[in-house]
Structure formats: C-alpha cells, structure tokens
Amino acid sequence: MTIDDAHDGPPDAIAVIGMAGRFPQAPDTDALWDHLLHGHDAVTPVDGEGTRTRAKGVLTGHDLFDASFFGVSPMEAERTDPQHRLFLETAWQALEQAGHGAAANRPVTGLFAGSSMSTYLLDVLASPRHRDVLDDSQLLIGCDKDYLATRIAHRLDLRGPAVVVQSACSTSLVAVHMAGQALLAGECDMALAGGVAVRGESGLDRRADRPDGMVSPAGRCRAFDASANGMVSGDGVGAVVLRRLDDALRDGDRVHAVIRGSAVNNDGAVKAGYTAPGVAGQVAVIRAAHAVAGVDPATIGFVEAHGTGTRLGDPIEVAALAEAFGPAGGRESCALGSVKTNIGHLDAAAGVVSLIKAVLAVREGVIPPTLHFERPNPELRLESTPFHINTEPIPWRPESGARRAGVSSFGIGGTNAHVVLEQAPPVSRPDPGHAWQLVPVSARTPGARDQALADIGRALAHSEDVADAAHTLQTGREEFEYRGAMVLAAGTRAKTGAHAETGTHAGGTGGGRVHRPVLGRAGAPLPVAYLFPGQGSQYPGMAASLYAAEPLFRDELDLCADAVREAGGPDPRAALGLPGTHDTGRPVPDLDRTDVTQPALFAVGYALARLWTAWGIEPHLLLGHSLGELTAACVAGVMSREDGARLVVARGAAMLACRSGAMTAVALPESALSDALPPQVEIAAVNTRFQTVVSGPEPGIAALEAELDRREARYTRLRTRRAFHSAAMEPAVEAVTRVAADLPLAKPQLTVLSNVTGRPLTADEATDPAYWGRQLRAPVRFADGVDHLAASGPYLAVETGPGATLRGMVADLGREGTPTETVCSLPGPGREADELRFALTSLARLWVRGAPVRWSGLHGGRRRRRVPLPTYPFERRRYAVEPAPLTGPDAEPPTRDPATPDAPAQRAEEGTATESGLNETERLIAQVWERLLGTAVTGPDESFFDLGGTSLIGLHVLDELSALFGVPLPKAAVYESPTVGELALLIEEALVGALEQQAEDDDGQRADGTRTDHTHATEVTR
C-alpha cells in the first residue's frame, strides 16, 4: 500500500514525520502549540528579593516514570537519571505519533540525542542502597550522558546508529542535523533526534544577581527587547522522527514539514572568547544551510532564533542573520521569534524545541508571538534588516511558493547549527476505505487499555480519517496483552469504558451510532478451526451486503459462481439476490431447492474461508457439516475450486432426484433413540451429545414424533422435503461417486475431520471417489469431530457460513478445561446487521484473544496514510533517590534461620512452603531478588528478567546466593534457570551434590583412619 506522490523539493530533503515532548506547563506538543499561540508564559518565579527574581521553566512530574511498561525494575528506575527516563518515554511517544511504534514493521532506525549534565548521579553515588548492589562504573550507566542513546536503542530495539551528541545549548539541533546526514548516507532509513534537560534545583541559576551575567535578574527572557538582560533556564524534553522525504511520501507518512537543508560548524578562535558567540561562524552556518537547501533567503518568512535575551548574544545573532540574508525580501519580510520567552532555555533540549515550534508554525500557517517584547533593542538595528518581532499571532500565507522557516541554535563553545524548513508538499488523498473499520488498541494493563480506548475514541469522534487511523493503529503500534477493539465508521462516536461489550455475541446489532469496544486478554496464539455449515443454514439475502462492501469476498464468490455455472448449476448469485447479478428475464432460483442451496452455500463458505485467510486467521483444522465437508475438502486442497463446484452441483442434483422424505432434530442423545426408531427411520446426524437428527419416510417420522410427544421429548421438524443421510439417498451415492471418479483428488493439505468417522480424513479416504458418495449417505458424526477437535486442547473456531448453527453445537460439546472462542462470519436470518461490521467484530473478538491478524488484508491494497493519534497512556509513579539511607530489615541481606530444618532438598520434597507459596529455598531467593530489584516476588514462577532484572544484577544475585547457600553457581544459571522455582531446584540439586561429595570424602578419611570434621557439611545444609 504505497503512495507515489511527487514533489519538487531537493532530492536530499528530509521529512519530519513525528514529534513528541514534555515542556514547562505543556505535557505534549499540542499543548505547547496552544500556549505559543495564546502567548502563555510558562516561566515560574521561584524566589527573590527586590528586583532580583530567580525563575525557571519548571517541568512537573519529571521524577515520574512507567518502569513496568519498559520492563525496568523499581531499583533500576530509581538509580536511572530522570533525563534518561524522560527521553525513553518521549522517544516511544514520538515513534507512535509518527505511526512507527511497532518494532517489527519499523524501518532501520537511528538515534541521535543528548542531555544536560547529570546532577542526579551524585545522589545515586551517595546512596548506600545502590552502592551495595553495583559498583560506581556500573551506576554510571544509568546516569551518564554517554549511555543515553545506546540504552534507549536497546530498550526500543533500534538497529541504526545510536549516537550521543553533546555541544551544549546546540546539542539537539546538531542531533537533528546528524540524523539527517545519517539518513542521506543510508546508515538508517528512519531516525530519532532530540534532547533532554532536567536539572532540578541546580537549574535555578544563583547568578541572577549579576546584572552583566547570562541570567535575567528579573526572571524573564526578553529576547530582542531593549530591556533584555539575560536568559531564564527551563527543563524539558523533545524528539522528532525523520525520514527521507521520498520514503515518507511513498509509505504514506504524515509529513509535518520538510528539512530542505541544514548545516553545522564551529566559531573556532575568531571571536572574543570561548563562551562568546561569533558573528562570522553564525553567518557561515546560515549561508551553508541556505546553500544546501537551495533557497533564496528572501523566500524565508520566519526564523526561530536562538534568542537567549542576553545583551551580547541577541545583537550578534541579529547581525549574523542580517549579513547572511542580505537585503533580500525587503523590510519586515521575515519574523523573528524565540520560544525561550515562553518556556525558558532548555539547554540540551533547546534546539529541538525551537525546531518543533517552527515545524508547527510552517504546518499550521501561523507565526506565534514572541513574549515580553515592547520595543526593539537599538543595538539590533532591526530597521536596516528584513526582520521584525511580532507580539501577536499572525497568519502566514506567502503570496507565492511554500512557507519556509529557519531555525538557529548556538552552543557555548561555538558549535552552531541552522536548519531550513519548508511546508510539506501537497499529497493526494488516500483511497476510499471500507464503510467499517476495525480499530485495535492494546496496553500492558487493563487500566492503560481503558484509558487508551477513551483517548482514541475521543480523537476519532466524527473523524473523516477513521480508515487511516485504523491503519495507523493496526500497523504502527505494538500489540500488548490487554486489548480492546472498536468497529467504527467515519463520523461514529466511540463509546468506551465500563459499559464495554464483553458478552459472547459475535457481531453488532442494528445500525446505531454508539459502538462499544470488544475487550479481552491475549494469550499465546491458539490453533484455528473453520466450521462449514450444511444445508438448512441458508436464508434469503445472506452475504448480500458483504458482497457489496468487500472486494475480495466478492471476487472469490464470483469465481465460485462462475465455476458452478460452468458445471451446469444455477448461478448462486441470483439465488442469493446479490446486487447487480440477477437477469430480470429469468426466474429467481428457489434457495430452498437442494440443487440451488448446496452450490450457494458452497460458494459463500469458500469465499468466506478465503476472506478469513486474507485477514490472517489461517486454519489449522477444518470441520464441515454434511455439504460443509465438501467445502472444507476444497479449502484443504483435496480438489480445486472448479472441481469442488462440479461435485457440489452433481451432489445437489442427485439428492434432489431422490424420493421425498422428512427429517426431525430430537433433543435426545443417539443412544436414547437408536433402539426406538420406526422401520426405515435412521440416525442422520449426531450433532451434540443431546441433539440427534433422524431421517426417513414421512409416515415413519410422524410416528416417531408421536412417540416423542408421549415421552415429552423436545423435537423440531426440519425445513426439508428430502430424507438426507438415509436409505432414500442410495441412488445419489452412485451418481456422486461417478462424478468424483473423474476428478483429480489429492491428499488434504490441512486436517479435515470426516463426517463419516469423526476422525481426520485420511489420504486414502480423500482420494477415494466412493468416499464422497458414501459421505452423503452415512450419518453425520459431527459431535465426534468436535470431540476430536477439543481433545487436542484450546482452539479458536470460525463458522465460515451463514448464521450460528455450528457455533451452538460446538458450545454444547465444549469440554471442561478446553476454552474456546467461536465466532460467526455472517448474522443469522431475521437480524438486521451490516455484514462487514459483523465480520469485523468477529475478527476483533479473535484478535483480543491473541489471534494474529494480517492487517493489510483488511484494506485490500487500498492506499492508506499514517495519521497522528494519542500515544500510549503511561501509568507513571515516582522514582527518586531519597537523601536518607534506607533503614529497616529490607536493607540487610537475608539470613537463614538456624531453627529451620537442615535440608532444603528434603523440605522441597515434602512440599513445605510459606504463606506466599514459596518453600524455604525459594523464599531466600525471593528475598535477594526483592532487595536487588525493589519489587515483590509473588510466586515460584516469577521470572528474574520479567521483573526487570539485568545481566549485571544477575551476577550479583548469583554471588549472594552462592555465599548464602555455600555452593558455587554457574554464571549461566540466571539465564538457564530464570524463575524462582527453577533457580531453587538448581540450588537444591547443588546442595545434594555437595552432601554426597562430603559423604564420599568422609568415607575416604575413615578408611585412612583420619578424623572427620562435619562442620562444613552441616553448614551447607542449613
């Protein structure tokens, strides 16, 4: 599903396809944009005296983190710098917002990022709670700048370059440039770039009382203003997702803006000092970016400047811009802005935040105001430049060409970066989608799942992009254990939450506009069985709306119908009343005639099987009822579609030619009927343990029904004028056998359960023409087939035909301990339901149970686009190193109780366990794990790595346990025996081995007449 949109940009243009971040008083980029448009000042005064005010752009919740989502133990989360934690979550959100959250579908992705200095590391190094577990070099991994990119690449499975970038204030814009270069060099096909700064109290600069310093004594950044007197610090994080523009357009990515060119350089020594900015270096980097972009500076309408509001920095920056732009564009043709007036200077994250602001301005066509600007700093000489400062949001609609912007970021030490942005090229509309779309949502916990459903539901209310949103969620998000799915139409309002539909009904009812989600918990994928119903399940109009809405189903049914007509049978499409298929000059075939019914059911069942397979629900086993077995055999490859149609046409005609009779379904087991049947009345089908179908001449059936009335047994006369699966069908046996003999029958490629035996159809049976004759005469042993199916364990079943006849039979035969989910493909007769919506709801029920879905099959080759949607709702909790050392019993390594029995191995055999379900050995292991990981161990099946353990912590675990139990443990033990129970068994086996070796040593010493010392052996067993 590619979209080939052309563009006239440079061949090395880079697309910005995703953005995410957290900023002072703005939890995401949407909130940031809203604050920018409304001139919101997120800088918070903290303290001060007189004219001196310390202020900061405060990032609330920087110490909160969803550790369990990322598989991080509480202890590891606590000793990880909040900057690392924040950027990990932000990187995840950026990838999801770009529509590339699923690692399996993601292009090779690089990561370029940097952070501010870690002051948190000092707290970790001072904490005995953590120093007792890891040495200083290992503690550095969680806090030091060097490990930011590689740790996140490891967590998110990013396979491209993972590089830490550090150039002070310009860090994150340099990271964007480097990411773009890596894309152009082919080192990766997608890249994340950004930065993070969380400095806590250290970010409150105590130099605010120095009027000539870099920090504003007034606690306000007044970039470009005459009263500008310094910057204000802030904390935050931002990341962007980049792709080559051609790739992004081809794959349907949402392009927010295009990076036409970028450049990076350094001032060198041509400036006043190391920390001073340099005009020459800034001019050179801006001109280089313009040259790479191939643009005339006069076409740039906005520059998001470095704009720190310092007395030295602002004049130098404007002078450099004026020289780089020259006289092009005319007076006040280009607006200057600085996001630092809104949120402060975000240090290592400053450049990417400036980029995000500029991308949003280019995308939305509005230039946000710059705050605290009253009159220009005369040293800027703005009147002689193309630049002006806007204090209100202004519409941005160039008279000709696309919107273009520049972004500057300059670091202390002279590393300068400049980026030229351009409005995204126009793209063609995606193909029209289905009327109904399956919208999947999943999370690691039920609470997060419910919140995600609510978030997505709100985002899609009355949306025209439901098909694209469904595609984005289907292919661009990871699939987690707790799942919910909605089947929505454009403009549908999703209803989620406590009233979610959780019953067993497999499809929607009616045409209401409130659609509740299907909820479930996914387990390991289960085998799938297709159930093909037989004659009697048909009804007028079945499959009509699915035929109109689903091209693949329509194509498959058309091929079956053509094969039926080629074999001399009536066109199933006319019998079904499918739209546009009936010749008005001919009578409509009677759907209740056997020679019409059977080809119609065959065509519908076969087409449904192909549709389910295209959707990824591939069968492991096939079970049909009477005629349904022929459809199953055809799906299994015993015969081709065309040959199957020939056999079905011959079967229907031959059975119709047989003498008339009757059939009755009786609510009694086969054993209760076999000895009470009148002459010529036979068992025709054993559907369940308590439902048997009998067949025979009308008088015999009537006599049986009279006897059943006397016994007060329930029964139902079936809608048929033939006695199927009885002696009345003998003439049809020979006719069908004769046709089957002319067909090239083959061994089944899938397991088909035989109606004749209730066991898997053998190759000899499948290729024997006489079998297919015998099959229409012998009793249908459907119950035996279901028993065979259930005996193999849990499974999922799809009724691939009209209604829910077989679903009810399977439910009646369900075995205890064999959970199944049986869904239907089409609603039954008399139910007004859109058939596509019904089928998609059934697919949703399978997906929430863990069935893998081939999402591309739902769109049938239609071109789809990725769209931004709410990202994962993290369930955060606070993790911070406390200043006081941990006290109490948990601070000490566990010790073994000398009063406990001396043989752990013996106690394990006797099943002695504590109230937590752990025996003594397991309890001691759990105590070590709990202390080193900081999380509770609840049972012997808990896995060290599932609880957030790492290889480094694993080595400490083994060292402590070896010392605790007095036996050596191999380094591989934590991998080969990762659960509490497995590790306990390994230790107990080692203890037994140690005792046996001690006994051998004692025997040897006694033989030598030497004295035996049992001290070590006794201690080992304790």
233, 87: one domain: yes
Residue 345 designated active-site: yes
Asked if residue 216 belongs to a domain, the reply is yes
- What is the structure's pLDDT at 907? 30
Q: Is the pLDDT of residue 86 over 80?
A: yes
The overall average pLDDT reported for the chain is 87
Catalytic residue among 130, 256, 306, 372: 306
Distance between CA atoms of residues 420 and 261, nearest Å: 5
Residue 136 has a pLDDT of 77
Letter for the amino acid at 984? A
Flag whether pLDDT at 498 surpasses 50: no
Asked if residue 175 lies in contact with residue 195, where contact means CB atoms within 8 angstroms, the answer is: yes
Residue 961: inside a domain, yes or no?
yes
Task: Verify that 25 and 155 share a domain, yes or no.
Answer: yes
Residue 147: Cβ within 10 Å count: 18
* pLDDT, tens digit (0-9, with 9 covering 90-100), for 241-253: 999 999 999 999 9
**Residues 748 and 768: beta-carbon distance below 8 Å:** no
**Residue in the block written with tokens 């059943």:** 708
pLDDT band at 1006 (very low <50, low <70, confident <90, very high): low
CB contact at 8 A, 494 and 461: yes
Residue 733 has pLDDT above 80, yes or no: yes
Give the integer Cα–Cα distance in Å for 449 and 443.
5
pLDDT at 742 over 80: yes
pLDDT at 972: 82
- The span from the CA of 118 to the CA of 112, in Å, is 18
Are 323 and 196 found together in one domain?
A: yes
Tokens of 100: 């590339």
Q: Is the pLDDT reported for residue 366 higher than 70?
A: yes
Structure tokens at 244: 């080559």
Task: Give residue 729's Cα distance to chain centre.
Answer: 54
Nearest to 844 by CA among 470, 432, 476: 470
Sign of CA dihedral 728, 734, 737, 739: negative
Residue 557 lies in domain: 528-581+588-661+720-831
> Phi and psi (nearest 5°) for 152?
-70, -40
Better-predicted residue by pLDDT, 95 or 119:
95
Confidence band, pLDDT 50/70/90 cuts, at residue 911:
very low
Is a pLDDT exceeding 50 seen at residue 910?
Answer: no
pLDDT bin (cut points 50, 70, 90) of residue 123 is confident
> Annotated catalytic residue: which of 626, 695, 754, 842?
626
Write the pLDDT tens digit of every residue in 756-807.
999 999 999 999 999 999 999 999 999 999 999 888 888 999 999 999 989 8
Segment among 210-214, 341-345, 1001-1005 with least mean pLDDT: 210-214
Confirm whether 169 is domain-assigned.
yes
Confidence at residue 677, expressed as pLDDT on a 0 to 100 scale: 93
Angle between helical axes of 594-614 and 641-656 (0-180°, round to 10) = 150
Q: Give yes or no: residues 156 and 265 share one domain.
A: yes
For residues 802 and 838, the answer to whether their CB atoms sit within 8 Å is no
Same domain, 28 and 162: yes
Confidence of residue 463 (pLDDT cuts 50, 70, 90): confident
Given 402, 423, 444, which residue is the final one in a domain?
423
pLDDT tens digits along 101-122? 999 999 999 999 999 999 888 8
- Identity of residue 404: R
CATH number of the domain where residue 310 is located? 3.40.47.10
Among 783, 803, 831, residue at a domain's last position: 831
Indicate whether 953 pLDDT > 90: no
Structure tokens at 553: 């189903």
Specify the range with the lowest mean pLDDT, choosing from 833-847, 937-951, 1007-1021: 1007-1021
* Residue 196, H or E segment: strand 190-197
**Residue 337, H or E segment:** strand 334-337
- What mean pLDDT comes out for the span 183-194? 98
Question: What pLDDT, on a 0 to 100 scale, did the predictor assign at position 921?
Answer: 86
Amino acid, res. 599: P
Residue 411, SS3? coil
- The answer to whether residue 375 sits within a structural domain is yes
For residue 934, give the CATH number of its domain.
1.10.1200.10
**At which of 423, 440, 459 does a domain end?**
423
The residue whose two tokens read 């079936």 is 718
- Across the range 3-12, mean pLDDT stands at 68
Annotate 115-140 with three-state secondary structure: ECCCCHHHHHHCCHHHHCCCCHHHHH
In whole angstroms, what is the distance from residue 644 CA to residue 635 CA?
Answer: 9
For residues 415-427, give the mean pLDDT: 96
If one counts the domains in the chain, the total is: 3
Give me the numbers of helices (H) and strands (E) for the chain, helices first please.
Answer: 35, 31
The predicted structure's pLDDT at residue 205: 53
pTM value is 0.88
Residue 489 and residue 318: Cα distance in Å, rounded? Answer: 52
pLDDT tens digits for 849-892? 999 999 999 998 888 999 999 999 999 999 998 764 444 444 44
- Are 817 and 935 found together in one domain? no
> Does some domain include residue 54?
yes
Split at pLDDT 50, 70, 90, the class of 903 is very low
In the set 7, 62, 345, 418, the catalytic residue is 345
Structural domain contains residue 473: no
The answer to whether residues 237 and 345 belong to one domain is yes
CA of residue 881 relative to chain centroid, distance? 33
Q: Say if 453 falls within a structural domain.
A: no
Does residue 506 form part of some domain? no
Q: How far is CA 655 from CA 38, 204, 368, 697, 720, in A?
A: 78, 90, 79, 15, 12
DSSP E strands in 444-492: the ranges are 482-488
Long-range contacts of 176-181 (CB under 8 A, 24+ apart): 176/112, 176/240, 176/242, 176/259, 176/262, 176/351, 176/352, 176/355, 176/417, 176/419, 177/262, 177/263, 177/264, 177/417, 177/419, 178/112, 178/264, 179/110, 179/112, 179/242, 180/14, 180/242, 180/259, 180/262
- Cα dihedral sign, 234-235-236-242: positive
At residue 138, the pLDDT reads: 78
CA–CA separation, 715 vs 813, rounded Å?
19
Q: Catalytic residue at 671? A: no
**Burial annotation 39-59 (CB, 10 A radius, 16+ → b, else e):** bbbbbbeeeeeeeebbbbbbb
Q: 419 with 283, same domain?
A: yes
pLDDT level of residue 814 (50, 70, 90 thresholds)? low
User: What pLDDT shows up at residue 888?
Assistant: 45
Q: Are the beta carbons of 933 and 949 closer than 8 angstroms? A: yes
* pLDDT tens digits along 660-677: 999 999 999 999 998 889
> Does residue 302 have a pLDDT over 70?
yes
CATH number of domain containing 603:
3.40.366.10
First vs last C-alpha separation in the chain: 66
Query: Given strand 691-696, what is the order of strands in its sheet?
Result: 682-688, 691-696, 662-666, 715-717
The answer to whether residues 944 and 826 belong to one domain is: no
User: 560 CB contacts (<8 Å, ≥6 apart)?
Assistant: 572, 602, 603, 606, 607, 641, 645
What one-letter code names the amino acid at 288? A
> Rounded distance, CA 188 to CA 167, Å?
23
What is the arithmetic mean of pLDDT over 889-906?
A: 39
Could you tell me if 656 and 548 lie in one domain?
yes
The share of the chain scoring above pLDDT 90, in percent, equals 65
pLDDT of residue 898: 38
What angle separates helix 805-813 from helix 782-791, to the nearest 10 degrees?
Answer: 60
Residue 425 belongs to what H/E stretch? none
Q: For 997, phi and psi rounded to 5 degrees?
A: -65, -40
Angle at 940 (CA atoms; ends 936, 946), nearest 5 degrees: 60
- As given in the structure block, the two tokens for residue 710 are 């006397």
* Domain match, 826 and 924 both: no
Looking at the chain, the whole-number percentage of residues with pLDDT higher than 70 is 87
pLDDT at residue 502 greater than cutoff 50: no
Q: State the pLDDT confidence band at 992, using cuts at 50, 70 and 90.
A: confident
In the set 7, 73, 127, 169, the catalytic residue is: 169
Q: What is the pLDDT of residues 245-296, one digit of tens each?
A: 999 999 999 999 999 999 999 999 988 888 888 899 999 999 999 999 999 9
Instruction: Give ∠ CA 527-528-530 in degrees, rounded to 5.
Output: 155
CA-wise closest residue to 726 among 767, 670, 687, 681: 681
Clarify whether 626 is annotated catalytic.
yes
Confidence (pLDDT) at 1015: 41
898 to each of 902, 962, 1017, 1020, 1021, how far by Cα in Å? 8, 18, 14, 12, 10
Q: What angle do CA 558, 564, 566 make, to 5 degrees?
A: 100
Examine the domain organization and report whether 558 and 415 are in the same domain: no
